A and B are shown apart, each in its own frame.
Chain A
Amino acid sequence: AQSVTQLGSHVSVSEGALVLLRCNYSSSVPPYLFWYVQYPNQGLQLLLKYTSAATLVKGINGFEAEFKKSETSFHLTKPSAHMSDAAEYFCAVSDAGGTSYGKLTFGQGTILTVHP
């Protein structure tokens, strides 16, 4: 079974500050890992994905995440927060073997607030 834990349901930063959203996963097989962002009244949009290539993954809007197998972590970072980054962020894990046809297990989400 796979699971995802996002540490901190709410994170607040100032505009221009570092954004760090934490995600730890549990998987019995090599995982695929994802970060999604959800803006109010919208569906989830893919920010970035790890699929067993480079451990440092760059995504859209200046976000990146690093896969650390030893720590079972996939934390999301952005060097400088922008007001438009305010949203809810979800970490998700999938079976890399492909037998689950892309079935994702999501974390509970982290709401990012950006202050001027």
Chain B
Amino acid sequence: DAGVIQSPRHEVTEMGQEVTLRCKPISGHNSLFWYRQTMMRGLELLIYFNNNVPIDDSGMPEDRFSAKMPNASFSTLKIQPSEPRDSAVYFCASSPGISPLHFGNGTRLTVT
């Protein structure tokens, strides 16, 4: 079991640039979640998918954020254009339908 794999581990970009974060869930898990972690707001759920279908995207901050899950083994979270306030650690997690969640090691995004 390789666990949830996220890439890149670190991303530094300039304001206005497009950023794409990637996630490979654990094989056989049919639910996938994107969380954002900041000092001020803690862990926030951005969006989650079940069987590749977005179920709840109410946590997505604004239209600059988008997420896709084209198949059961891959998901992306895109920010376009990025802003300094998007700086955070972004976690992907997967689960076999019902919790508990299995988390990746996160992508630390810095937008300058």
Contact = CB atoms under 8 A, between A and B. Distances in A.
Report the 5 A-B pairs with minimum CB-CB distance, sorted nearest first: A43-B103, A102-B99, A102-B95, A106-B43, A44-B103
Name, among A42, A46, A98, A103, the residue most crowded by chain B CB atoms within 10 Å (CB to CB).
A103
A46 B101 CA distance: 8
Given A101-B50, A103-B33, A43 B99 contact: no
Contacts of B106: 42-43
A94 interface: yes
A62 B67 CA distance: 38
Given A90-B43, A101-B48, A103-B33, A45 B100 contact: no
Interface residues of B, number: 23
B98 interface: yes
Given A43-B104, A43-B106, A44-B103, A101 B97 contact: yes
A49 B100 contact: yes
Interface in B1-58: 4, 31, 33, 42-43, 45, 48, 50, 55-56
A103 B45 contact: yes
A102 B103 contact: no
B66 interface: no
Nearest to B56: A103
B69 to A, nearest CB: 13
**A interface, how many residues as a size bin?**
20 to 34
Contact of B31 (A36, A41, A101, A109): A101
Nearest to B9: A41
Contacts of B98: 32, 94, 98, 101-102
B103 A103 contact: no
A103 B48 contact: yes
Given A36-B103, A105-B45, 15 more contacts: A43-B4, A43-B93, A43-B104, A44-B91, A44-B93, A49-B99, A49-B100, A90-B43, A94-B98, A94-B99, A98-B97, A101-B95, A102-B33, A102-B99, A104-B45
Interface in A52-108: 90, 94, 98, 101-108
A25 interface: no
Interface string A3-35: 000000000000000000000000000001010
